Amino acid sequence: MVRVLVEATHNPPLTEEFLQFEIKVPNPCLVARNVRWLRSFVSRDRRRTICELEATDADTVREAYRQAGYSVERVWVANIVESDAESF
């Protein structure tokens, strides 16, 4: 499994109700492809999101989002680079 990031722009902005629903109810298109949502970063104006997922590859995530009817700008595999807090 790899980490996959999904970037999207939303117009109109996402509502609180939509965000809470997405957190509580797993999307069947993701579940069917064994894609696991880890977290999302949402801009303060709720017009941009970056979602972090775990999946076999980026194409699987692209297909799941396409089938779910979500419009995305970019889907890409990412490596995790973490800071050593003691060095700062």
Q: What are 36-44's contacts with CB under 8 Å, separation 24+?
A: 38/3, 42/14
The third-level CATH classification (topology) of the domain covering 2-79 is: Alpha-Beta Plaits (3.30.70)
User: Do 47 and 13 form a contact (C-beta atoms < 8 A)?
Assistant: yes
Tens digit of each residue's pLDDT (9 = 90 or more) over 24-36: 888 999 999 999 9
Note whether 68 and 27 are within 8 A (CB): yes
Domain extent listing, the chain: 2-79
SS3 state of residue 62:
helix
CA pair distance 61, 46, nearest whole angstrom:
22
pTM of the model: 0.88
pLDDT tens-digit readout, 6-65: 999 999 999 999 999 888 888 999 999 999 999 999 999 999 999 999 999 999 999 999
72: left (phi over 0), alpha (psi -120 to 50) or beta: beta
